[in-house]
Amino acid sequence: MIRYARLAMTALLGLATLLTTLGAAHADQMEKARIGVLRLSSSAPVFIAQDKGYFRDAGLEVELKFFDAAQPVAVATTTGDVDVGITAFTAGLYNLAGKGTLKIIAGMSRDRPGYPLIGYFASNKAYEAGLKTPKDLAGKRIAITQVGSSFHYSLGLLADKYGFKLSDMKLVPLQSMSNMAAALKGETVDAALLPVSAARKLMDDGEVKHLGWVGDETPWQVSGVFAGPKTLADKELVTRLLSALQRAEREYHDVVLATVKDGHAAIDDKTKPLLAIIGKYTNLPVEQVAGNCAYIDPQGRLDVKNVDDQIKWLQAQGFADKGYDAEAIIAKDYVKAD
Amino acid sequence: MLDRADVTESPAGDATEVARPVRFRGAGFTPATSRHAGWLALAAALAVWQAAGSLAPVNPLFLPTPVAIARALYQLAISGVLWQHVSVSLLRISAGWALGTASGIVVGFAIGLSRIARSIGISFVSALFPIPKIAVLPLLILWLGIGEAPKVATIALGVFFSTTISVYSGVDAVPRNLIRMAQSFDVPFATIVRRVIWPGALPSILAGFRITASVALMLVVSAEMIGAETGIGTFVLQAGNLMQTDQLMAGIVILSAFGLAVGKLISLLEARLLHWR
Amino acid sequence: MDLIADHISHRFGTLDVLDDVSFTVAAGEVVAIVGPSGCGKSTLLSILGGLLQPCAGQASLRGAPPSESLNPLTFVFQDFALLPWSTVAENVEFPLLHSRLSAQERRAAVDDALRRTHLSDFRAAYPKQLSGGMRQRAGIARALAVRPALLLMDEPLSALDSQTRELLLEDFVRLLAEGSMGAIYVTHNLEEAVRLADRIVVLSRRPGRVRDVVSVPVPRGERGALAAREHLLPLQNELWHLIRAEAIDAEREVQHA
């Protein structure tokens, strides 16, 4: 009896496999790809495309490799440990690209008004002393992760916007979020830039004061998709991968981002499955995911002009090597510009 | 009467059985250091490295050539930035090392000499020593802020535990018979500590210095994670963050040079203080 | 100044080492303590010199030590116990540093002690540069420098080879004849005991008890002569006879331990 049941199961499984294969029949064969990514909601489309099988539909067998910082993703892409990397643009990444070891193939998340991602936070003492808005950051001691990081650049944009000099702020590189949070709590810095995920608890406990969001003050292209020379040469692979990503991006944009109001996505029958997928990959409850939605262009476009600005700014600060611009590090065949 | 061999006959001259020399079996296990061989090997390694970088298509990003590193160092030196980094870091290293060493010696002697300090001290040291200093950086920032204090404290902490351990094992290793001898002459406690225990523990303490000096050099990178603008650790961190591998290697070369210099210094100190060994 | 061993007993943990040992060493007297290995001879000496607290009984002194004595009870150790980081002269000066002597007097005392032990030419040498015999001479010089009333000598020759031992033994005879200094001389070597001592305390095997106290008939100053040596040989044999059986038992015991 059991034996027959097993036989039936095997047959069913076989049939299912056959059907799946037929379903992907428009792709000639399954190609393998490894994607390096951080467990952050700013990479939401990657998780959706993987979980809902969009990569598979495009004939790709994708393996996600998780990292805990942006820099190693870029390095792993350079060394070929992953085929494609998705993470924030940093001076380190641009310098790798400037040496020709990787190129940007698409945009990912952006800081944009109405989508809280990175915030300016003040210590209670500094707040009492009159640090109430981002504009007041001039002349203050501000914790950042590293020199040349996206936080550093954000502050540069802020300085430009309000017409003061970057050097008017005393920037304190503390290397890690926990160090920054400790410095802010201990009131040894006046302010810090923190992602909403790291700051929420401090904010709720009344240990820091929220001043504003980078997206509201200075919108910019935060992260992107990039690949090494070997992957870039495989046109078929890149095209399929980007199309699968864009399918997920479109869905994420239309279903989740469309409901965002006051920085929060609605949690309803339509958004919940997607939020649950993001929560699964970022190890966050759905409620928190909904309050932490990164804006992502539905077509995966890249703000090329902003990328060029970033590079120029980093070069001017001495954080990026001279001698290249956005043109040089963007794979024009693939990138859709704004 | 026994027949005796003719003394004039060569012992090897016996035709029936050819005498063979005893095979020498005592070779090896006595490595002698040759100063020139060491330098030559280093030079050869550098040459191969340079050749690999400039001849073969090795991306300079992955392995900057010695020449590139030397160029980076040279540029740092002529711009004056190098001295700024080095002097700031040296100040932190020496302050942290001195603080950690002084307190480590005091606590180490207490553990070595007092029963109460020993029973409390050893468990504390064993419990706290293995904590990675980077893990407690947020706490240090909370307690001490982000000025020089937490940076010096990071280095001092790392040095302190190592020193404590080497000092009390040094005190433990002082031959008991020397202490008994001093007691048998009614030598006062303080004199015994100063003239018997201190010199007796000195070899172990100096060996500890060798380790703690390296620990201090390693920890300067962690220490300068705390909001430092200059310093060799900051420089290395920044070069890593910005993927400027030639600068990164230049920083590492500087740290290595520190390490060599300190090692040399301690050897000199040992030769001076432990000439009686 | 007399030294009195007054019903001394001692144990290490569960191991009885000494059992009710009593005897008196008169001022200026040289007493040898002999006995089989592990009978507690050295333990007894440590107790007598105040380096070890006995479990029962006590060591006591009767009468005042000579006024010039800086350290009435002074040890000479089996392993010399020289500070390896100090020169011979510094080692000899070490016990004088905290004394009431002025620097000049200290120097004179060191010079005198070195001269008496034939070490004047080696004052700047470090212990590791010296032979075993020279090291023990330095140990003796250090003891002499504090002008002891009673030397407590703990197998002072047992770490040395037999030729050096013979030479040093002659030195001991000479030094002990020079002043009014007494000595307790712990040894397992019966010949040394018979050569040096006025009286010999024989301890039993562990736990050590006083088995016998033997007086050596020939005065110390006259034992160098061949005739005297022959005269003393029977005493040495007698002592060996006393100890032998115990030594055999003791050795078995040590092996079991």
Under an 8 A CB cutoff, do B195 and C83 touch? yes
Largest Cα–Cα distance of chain B, in whole Å? 100
Q: Sorting pLDDT into bands at 50, 70 and 90, what band is A269?
A: very high
Cross-strand bridge partners of residue A191: A122, A142
Total domain count for chain A? 2
A17 part of a folded domain:
no
Give the end-to-end CA distance of chain A in Å, rounded to a whole number. Answer: 63
pLDDT at C257 over 90: no
State yes or no: cis peptide before C65, omega within 30 of 0: no
Provide the mean pLDDT of chain C.
Answer: 88
Is residue A35 domain-shared with residue A100, that is, in the same domain?
A: yes
Using the 3D structure, point to which of A163, A187, A218 is the last residue of a domain.
Answer: A218
3-state secondary structure of C11: strand
Residue A16 lies in a domain: no
What range does the domain containing A179 cover?
Answer: 118-218
Beta-bridge partners for A123: A208
Q: Please state, for a pLDDT cut of 70, what percent of chain A lies above it.
A: 92
| A227, A202: one domain | no
Does B183 contact C51 at a Cβ distance shorter than 8 Å?
A: yes
Q: What is the CATH number of the domain that holds A162?
A: 3.40.190.10
Residues A151 and A283 in one domain: no
Q: Which of A218, A235, A257 is the last residue of a domain?
A: A218
How do the residues of chain A divide into helix, strand and coil, expressed in percent and rounded to 5? Answer: 50, 20, 30
H/E stretch holding C256 reads: helix C226-256
In a domain, A319, yes or no: yes
What does DSSP say about strands A295-296 and A191-195: parallel, antiparallel, or unpaired? unpaired
**A5 assigned to some structural domain:** no
Give the integer Cα–Cα distance in Å for B30 and A318. Answer: 53
In a domain? residue A94: yes
Q: pLDDT > 90: what percent of chain C?
A: 42
A94 in the same domain as A136: no
Smallest Cβ–Cβ distance between A182 and the set B138, B234, B242 belongs to B138
C233-245 residue pLDDT tens: 888 888 888 888 7
Are residues A229 and A200 part of one domain?
no
| pLDDT, tens digit, 9 for 90 and up, residues C143-162 | 999 999 999 999 999 888 88
Tell me, yes or no, whether A141 and A154 share the same domain: yes
The reported pLDDT for the residue numbered A22 is: 47
**Higher pLDDT, residue B56 or A186:** A186
The verdict on a CB contact (< 8 Å) between B195 and C81 is no
**pLDDT given at position B105:** 94
Residue A57 confidence (pLDDT) above 90: yes
Task: Measure CA of the first residue to CA of the last residue in chain C; give whole Å.
Answer: 40
Residue spans of alpha helices (H) in C41-131: 41-48, 88-93, 103-116
Close Cβ partners of C247 (under 8 Å, ≥ 6 residues apart): C36, C37, C205
B177 and chain C: CB distance < 8 Å anywhere?
yes
Whole-number Å distance between alpha carbons of B222 and B149: 14
Distances (CA, A) of B20 to B7, B10, B14, B15: 19, 13, 11, 12
Asked if A126 and A213 sit in the same domain, the reply is yes
Contacts A185 to B, Cβ<8 Å: 142
Q: Do A86 and A157 fall within a single domain?
A: no
Instruction: Give Dmax over CA atoms of chain A in angstroms.
Output: 81
- Mean pLDDT over A42-53 rounds to 94
- Residue A154 within a domain: yes
- Minimal-distance CA residue of chain A relative to B224: A174
Testing the interface with A: which of B59, B139, B242 to mutate, by most A Cβ within 10 A?
B242
Chains B/C: 3 or more C-beta pairs closer than 8 A?
Answer: yes
pLDDT score of C45: 93
Residues of C in Cβ contact (< 8 Å) with B196:
83
Closest in B177, B187, B195 to C77, CB measured: B177
| A73-81 mean pLDDT | 91
Which residue type does C123 have? R
pLDDT at A25 exceeding the cut of 50: no
Q: What is the pLDDT of residue A279?
A: 93
**Quick one: A175 and A249 in the same domain?**
no
How high is the pLDDT of residue A36? 95
Q: Which two tokens stand for residue B244?
A: 């400027």
Ranges of residues in chain B with a pLDDT under 70 are: 1-15, 33, 56-60
ipTM: 0.89
| pLDDT at residue A140 tops 90 | yes
Is residue A58 over pLDDT 80?
yes
Query: Which of A163, A194, A218 is the last residue before a domain boundary?
Result: A218
Is A106 part of a structural domain of the chain?
yes
A85 neighbourhood in chain B, CB within 8 Å: none
Inspect the interface and report whether the beta carbons of C98 and B180 lie closer than 8 Å. Answer: no
Question: A296 and A234 share a domain?
Answer: yes
CA distances from B106 to B118, B119, B156, C27 (A): 12, 16, 14, 45
C-alpha to C-alpha distances, B199 to B169, B203, B205, C2, nearest whole angstrom: 13, 8, 10, 37
- Packed helices B148-173 and B137-144: angle between N→C axes, nearest 10 degrees: 120
What percent of chain B clears pLDDT 90, i.e. is strictly above it? 41
**A151 touches B at CB < 8 Å:** no
Looking up tokens 């011979």 gives C88
CA distance B250 to A142: 29
Where is pLDDT greater, at C39 or A250?
A250
Residues 6+ apart with CB under 8 A from A64: A34, A35, A37, A46, A50, A281
Token code pair at residue C248: 């055999």
Q: Is the pLDDT of residue C85 over 60?
A: yes
Distance CA B267, CA C127 (A): 23
d(CA A288, CA A210): 17
Q: Which of residues 30-89 of C touch B (CB under 8 A)?
A: 49-51, 71, 73-75, 77, 79, 81, 83-86
A12 within a domain of the structure (yes/no): no
Chain B hits for A311, Cβ within 8 Å: none
Residues C160-177: what's their mean pLDDT? 87
Residues A274 and A291 in one domain: yes
277-316 in chain A: CB under 8 A from chain B:
none
C190-226 residue pLDDT tens: 888 988 899 999 988 878 888 889 888 888 877 777 7
Residues in B closer than 8 angstroms to A90, CB to CB, are 241
For B242, other C-beta atoms within 10 Å of its C-beta total 27
| pLDDT category of residue A107 using cuts at 50, 70 and 90 | very high
Residues A49 and A192 both lie in one domain: no
- Round to whole Å and give the CA distance between B12 and A240: 88
pTM greater than 0.80: no
C83/B196 touch (CB, cutoff 8 Å), yes or no: yes
